[in-house]
C-alpha cells in the first residue's frame, strides 16, 4: 500500500471543517496511519516550501500557515497519492471541480483547506519532515477485504 501526506491548513481548522475533510478520506477507504495537530514554524515551513523560496507569494504563504495550528495526516491505500490529489482538487479552489474538497469548501488559491503531496517521492520526504518513525502505525482494517480485490492486497 502507498502512503501520502496531507496538511489540513489553518483555514480548515478555523472554519471547523477538520472532521468533514477527514471523513471524506475515511469514507473513500483510506487508512489513517498517523495524525497530529501542530503549530508550524519558520524552520519547518522553509524546508517544506523550499521550492517556493524567493517567489513573490512565499512570505504571505508562510504567514498564512502560522495563523493557527494545522492537522497533519499520513493516509494509506492503493494509489493513495493520486487518489488524495484528485479528492483535493486543483490548487486554485475557484477552478476546482465540484465534489472535490477545494471545489466544495473553498474559493481561494491560498486559503484552500488542504495541502496534499504531489508525488510518492514528495510524500516520503514530507512524512519524514513531519513525523518520527514511532508516530506511524501499522494495523489491519477489516474493511479491506470488502474494499479491494484479493490481488489488489498483495
Q: Which pLDDT value is given to residue 154?
A: 67
Model's pTM, two decimal places? 0.93
Q: Say how far apart CA 141 and CA 151 lie, in whole Å.
A: 16
Q: Say how far apart CA 67 and CA 129 lie, in whole Å.
A: 20
What fold is seen in the domain 2-152?
Alpha-Beta Plaits (3.30.70)
In the chain, the percentage of residues whose pLDDT exceeds 70 is 99
Q: Which of 48, 51, 52, 115 is catalytic?
A: 115
Mean pLDDT score of the chain: 94
Q: State yes or no: is 115 an active-site residue.
A: yes
Amino acid at each position: 500500500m502507498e502512503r501520502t501526506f496531507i496538511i489540513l491548513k489553518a483555514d480548515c481548522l478555523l472554519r471547523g471543517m477538520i472532521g468533514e475533510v477527514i471523513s471524506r478520506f475515511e469514507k473513500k477507504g483510506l487508512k489513517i496511519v498517523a495524525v497530529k495537530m501542530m503549530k508550524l514554524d519558520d524552520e519547518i515551513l522553509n524546508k517544506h516550501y523550499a521550492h517556493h523560496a524567493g517567489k513573490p507569494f512565499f512570505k504571505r504563504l508562510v504567514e498564512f500557515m502560522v495563523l493557527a495550528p494545522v492537522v497533519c495526516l499520513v493516509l494509506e491505500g492503493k494509489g493513495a497519492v493520486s487518489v488524495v490529489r484528485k479528492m483535493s482538487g486543483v490548487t486554485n479552489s475557484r477552478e476546482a471541480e465540484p465534489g472535490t474538497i477545494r471545489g466544495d469548501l473553498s474559493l481561494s488559491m491560498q486559503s484552500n483547506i488542504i495541502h496534499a503531496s504531489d508525488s510518492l517521492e514528495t510524500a516520503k520526504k514530507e512524512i519524514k519532515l513531519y513525523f518520527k518513525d514511532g508516530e506511524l502505525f501499522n494495523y489491519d482494517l477489516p474493511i479491506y477485504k470488502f474494499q479491494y480485490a484479493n490481488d489488489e492486497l498483495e
